[in-house]
Chains A and B, each alone.
Chain A
Amino acid sequence: MNDTAQRELLQTFVRLADTLVDDYDVVDLLQVLVDACRDLLDTTAAGILLADSRGELEVVASTSEASRLVELMQLSAEAGPCIESFRSGRRVSVPDIQHTDDAWTQFRDAALAHGFRSVDALPLRLRDMTIGTLNLMREEPGAAAEEDIIAAQAFADVATIGILHERSIRESSVLSEQLQAALNSRIVIEQAKGVVSHTRGVSIDEAFLLIRQYARSHSMGLSVVAARLVDRSLRL
């Protein structure tokens, strides 16, 4: 990591710390985190998955909304590094996806077809509990740089804090409710993608970009914009 990269990394943490003090949109925060992983670390694509009430992992943020990437991460959550990291609460590194366990065939084939050669899954942990994982995919085989992993784990910790401290949805101390709130915002974002895809005649992926652009240029949270698109009080 060169000096510029390090400075940018520090700036990102400062910005994140500022975000956490204010009222913030948890999905927005997670999006900033995965984008930071892609832009500042040696990683091609990144995604955060959270466990729902049944312990099933769902993608809540990813660097690309392209359905193939999301599907790949879901495969990893069924049988792959993601679920293993979630279950063990530990980092799972796969320096060469070609040489993985046969139990991961589906994930392996999809990842290779996508052009990915290595992956790291890091737990989102609070004390002894794991609530989800951060996944980093790379196009090059080989182990990730240790300093990248340290930074990524710090991002994962920020994500955990961000999810658990989100105050916008009722003041609630119940962990599962906070998790569910984050997952529910994701439902509304998916619905909003469908709405915009219909009203603008664009693909689902393009629809997400339009929603993000609107949220940014109006300084609004992604979840707020999505909710207003779905209840039709906002037209895009």
Chain B
Amino acid sequence: MSGSFEIEIEALERSPDRPERYCEAFVTLFPVSGASVSTVGQLLGSETLAASDALSARIDELQFDLGEGPCWDAVRSARPVLAPALHVSGPKKWPAFTQSAVQDGIGSVFAFPLIVGPLRFGAVDMYSAAPVRLSSTQTRQAGAMADVISRHVLRRALSAIGEDPDEGISAFSRRLIHQATGVVLASIDISAEDARLVIQGHAFAAGKPMMTVAQDILDGRLRFVRDGDRIEVAE
């Protein structure tokens, strides 16, 4: 079992530009009926990027329309949201969503947030018709897979809007961006690659050039801080 997790996550890492493959790994590894990947919230808008079946897509749509559901909570809390027995835990948290979902024959729902540093922008949703539980190992594995997808999704979204960080930036500005990348990676303990994505994503969210955000970081006007396992922006 652990062998196949390694294979699946590696395949995911190699498929940044094939969103249609994002869900496969979840359906293969876990006892679920379907999975979907969607962006949620202000940063990238709410949209389903991939769904393994029609019901998965419907679960996303329900949550977007109702403005409630596990994927919203996952994005807000930056943590996995597990509802192995939806009819028990759901009515209180998401009354409208639970009613529709249970009617559609859904027993369990699991949502894993898409996060890079302080940026929270989507979720992987899984459902099962029959109520099932995810073991703690499976929960950890799903989280790791969602992390891989997070980077793919953010990178693709940023390149789709033509935010090529190296275009039209002088060599001197690039230097500042590299320095700011160092500050960010040290302050929240992430990889250099992620730190750069965080700067780029933050620039996009704030509607500012990357260079300005880099300067703000170097001057201490913009800071990223770690709060437990979450990362927050301090301005």
Contacts and interface: CB of A to CB of B under 8 A. Distances in A.
Is the pairing of A and B real?
yes
Interface of A: 52, 56-59, 67, 70-71, 74, 77-78, 187-188, 190-199, 204, 230-232
Contact of B182 (A56, A78, A190): A190
Main secondary structure of the interface of B (DSSP, over half): helix
A187 B177 CA distance: 10
A58 B171 contact: yes
The 4 closest A-B CB pairs, nearest first, are: A194-B182, A190-B178, A191-B182, A198-B186
Contact of B171 (A59, A193, A198): A59
A190 B179 contact: yes
Nearest to B190: A232
Main secondary structure of the interface of A (DSSP, over half): helix
A77 B174 CA distance: 15
A197 B175 contact: no
Contact of A193 (B179, B184, B191): B179
Given A198-B187, A204-B218, A230 B182 contact: yes
B172 A74 contact: yes
Given A187-B178, A230-B192, A232-B189, A195 B183 contact: yes
A208 to B, nearest CB: 10
B180 interface: yes
Query: What bracket does the count of chain B residues touching chain A fall in?
Result: 20 to 34
Interface of B: 170-172, 174-176, 178-187, 189, 191-192, 218
Contact of B185 (A58, A67, A70, A230): A230
Contacts of B175: 58-59, 70, 190
Given A199-B186, A230-B185, A232-B189, A194 B171 contact: no
9 contacts: A58-B174, A59-B175, A190-B178, A190-B182, A191-B185, A193-B179, A194-B178, A197-B218, A230-B192
A94 B187 CA distance: 44
Contacts of A190: 175, 178-179, 181-182
Contacts of A230: 182, 185, 192
Nearest to B180: A194
A195 B182 CA distance: 4
Contacts of A59: 171, 175
A148 B181 CA distance: 39
A198 B182 contact: yes
